[in-house]
Structure 1
């Protein structure tokens, strides 16, 4: 059936019929000047999209020679649009004449810019979208390099953040992670690692548990329970004899047991007194180490004046150290040796003779309260700040738990004081009485005596040990900050109920 030329064949025909023709509004085209030469008749502008498509089809089917004649009067001779990125055979409106190059290099510097095509050429097929704008240039080498560095920086930051988060999680939850993943660290040292020297005291009645802790404290075993667990796992129940034994550090539990069972490692007539013990706790160790009856030592300490001590008790005067005595040494000779050693330490710290008892009292509190050597000097400062006249109205009392516990003989190995200890009216209780207690509460060592004479500089008024395993202690200036630290200690105690809280 022949196609109808009715405009109703195209739903947009009416719209194109009503649009004005821009060429007809061009006065140069409608009314050429008098001097203008009459040119050939311009091609009719399509009035609809159907007409535009038909015109494009006619041009495409026309002979190549007719469109390439170069006749400026014909539409086919119009300048070819700019090359497209598509191959010529895929662009029906760009047919390459025979003998012509398949593509032409655009050289904007060598030829004048061609006039931009109008939107009408898009409908007629005489132009492409590439003729109506310039494609963005490819990124330069410098821009690519900058972009690469930016991407590398982003990746570096991401990996750094992940590494930092992983380190925090590991340091905080290492024990839990090891438990879940089964990555438990060995509880004992490897054979062949033993080195140096370590002295371990076994008291009368000590069993595997206390000895296991003593070995760990002396640096012999790797963990506090390694020795005891070895005894349980192997089903051994050996007999341990009191005395001081010379072992090595970093030994296996089996090697430590063998050394404790060897009489050659026991030091005869020797006694090792740790820091912080009372006279009552020290005398049994002296008796066991020297073989002198305990009753002889109790009689020897009854009169402090025979040793040049002007006090009612030798508390604080039995200097903690390792002692070795001749076989015929008496209990009084042992006590005199220990008092003389305390005077050597006091003189080395520059303590005036008339201040010895007071400095020993302060040093004994420091010895019982502080955990790490650096904290000895801070605790000393807290004592001085609390006793300062400016703070007398604020505090009025030293309030040290160690003094309250000593006053009623409460020494169960925990840091917490009972209500009875805090309220008992004895002369050592600094919760009840102002100032220092009436005398020392333990035997301080060299560091504690030096700290009593040389407190650190600082405004601290409070302190609390928030981790009894590591000895981490928080020093604060205000009561509000102190309460925050106390909560931290309580949280740690709730997670470690068997750690001496």
Structure 2
């Protein structure tokens, strides 16, 4: 009888001990990890096991608890040996269970990078350089080496990357984003070219891309893109020079200081459409989808000129004759002078 009582007591003690461990384990698994800082994350690199990941958490002064609990939980959640490479968010409510589940399922942090309509290649390079989490290849590559790295040796990079927002994860490089943006531009340009209007004054999609880049830089009001495209298309058809300031600015390069002087309009460069006929040799910026559509589907009409209204709306006055255009220019200059005078007072 005494022996049975002893066994019963031992059993109760063991059950109590196991129950205590079980309770502590469950509390560990589903309790937020203490010490997580704002905007924290942990990176699982190729070859990392659970022990290395836990060391990375400790290095951030996160209280992780007993390592054996993590091993048991990893087996229970199916994460043991299946941690996927990537960067994982550490929110203040992150628990061991939620973190292991995320690393098992590859729920990595997805970031985004936006190429803005009208950016030049110089703008794009500068913006990518600021994203320090991206692996940086561009600083070591000039334009020719860049296009070779992308598999398009001999092409000029200007205008070749579609303005869009691109998702990326840690481990990606600036070249990864550019590869996708290049493919996006190729696909969009091809689609617009296949449905292009009849009787365009050019016969290659690359020329449409160049015209779209000019439209992008000339347009302050999105609704006018097709009208501006119509003006440029009619000028090309009639042999008139495009005479558009953004091409002059592009040709000036780093010497452009914010304003165009009369001497700049008469100084010949490959991009000066005041001194040269036809389209410039390459695009001058990254055109968006709307500008690509306008270049291949210009609005009909008879306007050959346009000038800004000057009221801050980005809209233009379109004219069919030079006399009408000159009158619109005089109106613009008068409004500009009044505005400058008001600013001085």
TM-score surpassing 0.5?
A: yes
Q: Does 1:281 align with 2:123?
A: yes
Change (3 A) 1:340 1:422: same
Pick one of 198, 209, 214 that aligns with 1:365: 214
Distance in 2 between the 1:347 and 1:285 partners?
27
Q: Does the 8 Å CA contact 1:270/1:289 hold for their aligned counterparts?
A: no
Q: Does the 8 Å CA contact 1:297/1:332 hold for their aligned counterparts?
A: no
Q: Which residue of 1 aligns with 2:252?
A: 408
Helix, strand or coil at the partner of 1:350: helix
Change (3 A) 1:410 1:386: farther
**Residues 93-123 of structure 1, C-alpha deviation per residue, up to 9 Å, x if partnerless?**
xxxxxxxxxxxxxxxxxxxxxxxxxxxxxxx
Instruction: Report the Cα offset of residue 292 of structure 1.
Output: 3.5
In the TM superposition, 1:340-489 aligns within 5 A as 340-351=183-194, 355-388=204-237, 391-392=238-239, 395=240, 397-409=241-253, 417-467=260-310, 469-489=312-332
Gaps of 5+ in 2: 1-108, 196-202
Distance in 2 between the 1:399 and 1:435 partners?
10
Instruction: Report the Cα offset of residue 269 of structure 1.
Output: 4.2
Distance in 2 between the 1:466 and 1:411 partners?
28
Instruction: Report the Cα offset of residue 445 of structure 1.
Output: 0.0
Q: Which residue of 2 aligns with 1:491?
A: 334
Instruction: Report the Cα offset of residue 268 of structure 1.
Output: 6.7
TM-score by length of 1: 0.42
Distance in 2 between the 1:296 and 1:484 partners?
48
Distance in 2 between the 1:331 and 1:486 partners?
44
Distance in 1 between the 2:215 and 2:322 partners?
21
Distance in 1 between the 2:173 and 2:327 partners?
53
Instruction: Report the Cα offset of residue 297 of structure 1.
Output: 4.8
Mark the structure with the bigger radius of gyration. Answer: 1
Q: Which residue of 2 aligns with 1:291?
A: 133
Instruction: Report the Cα offset of residue 369 of structure 1.
Output: 0.6
Distance in 2 between the 1:418 and 1:452 partners?
28
Q: Does the 8 Å CA contact 1:408/1:424 hold for their aligned counterparts?
A: no
Gaps of 5+ in 1: 1-266
Query: CA RMSD of the aligned region, Å?
Result: 2.8
Helix, strand or coil at the partner of 2:166: strand
Instruction: Report the Cα offset of residue 413 of structure 1.
Output: 8.6
Q: Does the 8 Å CA contact 2:137/2:174 hold for their aligned counterparts?
A: no
Change (3 A) 1:328 1:456: same
Distance in 2 between the 1:299 and 1:269 partners?
24
**Residues 120-162 of structure 1, C-alpha deviation per residue, up to 9 Å, x if partnerless?**
xxxxxxxxxxxxxxxxxxxxxxxxxxxxxxxxxxxxxxxxxxx
Q: Which residue of 1 aligns with 2:167?
A: 324
The count of corresponding residues between Structure 1 and Structure 2 is: 227
Change (3 A) 1:408 1:295: farther
Q: Which residue of 2 aligns with 1:240?
A: none
In the TM superposition, 1:17-166 aligns within 5 A as none
Helix, strand or coil at the partner of 2:223: helix
TM-score by length of 2: 0.59
Distance in 2 between the 1:293 and 1:468 partners?
44
Distance in 1 between the 2:174 and 2:114 partners?
15
Change (3 A) 1:498 1:385: farther
**Residues 411-435 of structure 1, C-alpha deviation per residue, up to 9 Å, x if partnerless?**
8695x52223212221111111111
Change (3 A) 1:289 1:321: farther
Instruction: Report the Cα offset of residue 344 of structure 1.
Output: 2.1
Distance in 2 between the 1:458 and 1:413 partners?
36
